[in-house]
Amino acid sequence: MGYSSDECKKVYDAWTDTITSGEKTIIDWKKKFVSDQKVLSEYIDYAAFLQTQEKTIGMFKKNIAYEQGIFEAPKTIKILLDTANPYALDQYLATDIHEYLHYASYVSNKQELDSRFFEEGLTEYFTRQAMGQTTFLGAAEGYPEYVAIIRQMTKMIPESELADIYFSKDEEHLESALDRVYGDNFYKNNRTLFEALQYASTPEQMMQLANKIMKEIGGSPLQDNSL
């Protein structure tokens, strides 16, 4: 039994609709696949970023002794006393000096050193000067590379001048002092290098960056046993 033209058209239209719907579904699936692939790629990149951050945080814990203290402007200091540490008092006193210097040198949120390297490096340098000959047996020394670089700079820039810069948070004076001693635009050209130290993800990378700076300021290469 044959089909009329109207019936054939209905069958044709039905199949056309089915095919069109199927093609649309395939296109939607392709779009979703591309979208999912993009999301997956973003998650992979994010996972890699988190792994890098984890290494960086681990680096901080190894190289910065003062994560146990914090200065919250304008006048709050918080220090963790680790009573399980047999040298807890030594560490507490060393941390207290470091954080107190942040407090004593605070001017305002609008007037501060732009460089975290110089803020923390000078703080720790003067912390050790304040400690002097006092023996803090269990107090880990923080920012060893920073201090070594600052100590090298004191051979060309008087310690008293660095103290004036630190306690007045005079960014312009810092820049002019470095440019005067190490050449025009030294600070501007090397600022990124100084700041990169805080993002080093391994001790080797930290040492490599520190020695690039030491080379720029005429110092001898640092070695692990020299810190």
- Structural tokens at position 16: 């056309």
Specify the 3-state DSSP secondary structure of 110: coil
Residue 62 Cα distances to 50, 114, 142, angstroms: 18, 25, 9
Place of tokens 């951050």: 53
| pLDDT tens-digit readout, 135-185 | 665 566 788 999 999 999 999 999 999 999 999 999 999 999 999 999 999
pLDDT at residue 67, as a whole number: 57
Residue 52 has pLDDT above 70, yes or no: no
Specify the 3-state DSSP secondary structure of 2: coil
Longest dimension (CA), the chain: 112
User: Contact at 8 Å (CB) between 142 and 109?
Assistant: no
pTM of full prediction above 0.85: no
Place of tokens 């005067």: 180
